[in-house]
Amino acid sequence: MITFITAAELITSSERISNPAIIVEDERIVAMGPRHSVETPANARTIDFVDAVLAPGFIDLHIHGSAGYDVMEGKREGLEKMCAFLAKHGVTSFLATTVTAEIGVLVEAVERLAEQIGNWKHDSSMAVPFGIHLEGPCLSMARRGVHPEAHIVNPSMELFDRLHKAANGYLRLITIAPELPGALEVIREATKRGVKVSIGHTNGFEQDAVNATEAGATHATHTFNAMRPLDHRKPGVLGKILESEALSAEIIADGVHVDPIVVELFLRCKGKERAVLVTDAISATGMPDGKYKLGSFEVTVKGPRCEWEGHLAGSVLTLDRAVRNIMQFSGWELGDSVRLASANPAEVLGETARGTLHVGGRADIVALSRSGEVITTLVGGRQSI
């Protein structure tokens, strides 16, 4: 099917086009530009979003679940509900993110996720799980957050091999504390195999971040959270993350995990090219207050807070809300805020078909109001809402 799409404005990530038109065929963009320069194909389905702004679909690199489903459960029906929910919030693709568990349980969860990703129906209008983010178990005991203490382990090549094999080619990102024994060897090997490495859940110092970057790490996990706090004489890993041009960094912009003032400082440090929005959302996202699963343990959710024994345990943030929060917290305009949820996460993974709108790329598109509210989402050109 050929689809001809028009709107008031188009954000490609690198430019803005007024009165644009996009032609989509077989999930790909085959033509785009100002309306007057794009000829309407014969027999095309036409969609006119009138006053909307078209932007690249959002990519969430760090999400544990939503719509009542936790990705560790491995149930296809639950994953599909999650993917339908995410599409309503502008997300067109994401990395299913694990949480620390007993190694055998974790391996089985990764195997199930890999099987589901490999068998995913790409002719649907739901968000696409296109890879796995392994958060844990190689984390700092001092900065583990809610990751179960009993299952935190030091990194090793044996463990990495086992998890890499279980992921069957879908392991895209790992979070690791770089100060742990064996961490640098695993970072180097993961990088060789094309797996991106993120610094996180770390009690390390500046040199640990330097060592990790030299070994191949390129990203930082939920900056400020589960990290040694910034000190003006000993800046630590966090100081290096904020300063380094070699590291992109994610942030949970819900106003709970990081104060809005600090979010704005983060944006000034990382800029429009290296700041990345994530949700760290759990199964409770989109659900009423109550008790929900995060991996093997139960989290209490009330309003915007998810807690386990008094500690923050993920969020109920959606990525469209995060984009709007950036506009509110920092005064950034829509196009720059959207970039943090689309082009930048794609850049973290070295993705070329996602995250921007260009001829030859995937037709993953979100139609937004000028204030950032989602009007509809198209996944591979298929309209979800």
- Does 307 have pLDDT greater than 70? yes
Is a pLDDT exceeding 90 seen at residue 121? no
Question: Residues 159-202: pLDDT tens digits?
Answer: 999 999 999 999 999 999 999 999 999 999 999 999 999 999 99
Q: Are 70 and 301 in contact (CB under 8 A)?
A: no
Closest CA to 285 of 263, 311, 303: 303
Q: One of 208, 254, 280, 336 is an active-site residue; which one? A: 280
Amino acid letter, residue 205: F
Whether the bond between 137 and the residue before it is cis, its omega within 30 degrees of 0, is: yes
Per the model's pLDDT, the better-predicted residue between 283 and 353 turns out to be 283
| Residue 64 contacts residue 22 (beta carbons within 8 Å) | no
pLDDT of residue 14: 81
Confidence at residue 258, expressed as pLDDT on a 0 to 100 scale:
98
Sorted by where each begins, the domain ranges of the chain are: 2-53+370-383, 57-355
Q: What is the CATH number of domain 57-355?
A: 3.20.20.140
The mean per-residue pLDDT over the stretch 51-68 comes to: 97
Strands 69-70, 65-66: pairing is antiparallel
| 280 carries an active-site annotation | yes
Which of the four pLDDT bands, split at 50, 70 and 90, describes residue 385? Answer: low
Mean pLDDT of 209-225: 98
pTM, to two decimals? 0.97
Mean pLDDT of 353-378: 96
* The CATH number, out of the four listed (3.30.413.10, 3.40.50.10540, 2.30.40.10, 2.130.10.10), of the domain defined by the range 2-53+370-383: 2.30.40.10
User: Same fold for the domain at 2-53+370-383 and the one at 57-355?
Assistant: no
Residue 291, class by beta-carbon neighbours within 10 Å (0-12 exposed, 13-18 middle, 19+ buried)?
exposed
Sheet with 297-302, edge to edge strand ranges: 290-294, 297-302, 305-308, 311-312
Of 348, 305, 340, the residue nearest 323 (C-alpha): 340
| Adjacent-strand bridge partners of 23 | 4, 31
Mean pLDDT of 42-56: 94
With bands split at pLDDT 50, 70 and 90, how would you rate the model's confidence at 296?
Answer: confident
Core vs surface per residue 192-211: b (16+ CB within 10 A) or e: eeebbbbbbbbbbbbebbbb
Beta bridge partners of 16: 11
